[in-house]
Amino acid sequence: MERAGLSEAPAVLVAVALTALVAALIGAVALRTRGVAFAMVTLAFAEAFSILLLSDRCGCRAARRVCRSSRKACPTCCAVS
């Protein structure tokens, strides 16, 4: 957000809007299931996101650059982005 030149308050608004957008996309998939399956699908998305963060500490753009140079460095990130 700092890179985009946003101050804190607008940054929060953008973050919340992005969260809602991502939630709508994931929800559209996950809510096709019910009960235990629904819990599993949402947890899977959460885990995927968590792994994505762990494997890439400096933002996805940097990650993509790294990916191009060495695919072995962050396989999960390459798979997702």
Query: What values do phi and psi take at 6, rounded to 5?
Result: -95, 140
- Which residues of the chain form contacts with other proteins (CB under 8 A)? 8, 12, 15-20, 22-24, 27-28, 30-32, 34, 43, 46-47, 49-50, 53-54, 57
The smaller minimum CB distance to other proteins, of residues 54 and 73, is found at 54
Which amino acid belongs to residue 57? R
The smaller minimum CB distance to other proteins, of residues 20 and 79, is found at 20
- Considering the complex, what minimum distance in angstroms separates the CB of residue 57 from other proteins? 7
Element (H, E) at 53: helix 35-54
Residue 7's contacts (CB-CB under 8 Å, 6 or more residues apart) are none
The smaller minimum CB distance to other proteins, of residues 5 and 24, is found at 24
- Considering the complex, what minimum distance in angstroms separates the CB of residue 58 from other proteins? 12
Which amino acid belongs to residue 47? E
Residue 33 carries which DSSP code? S
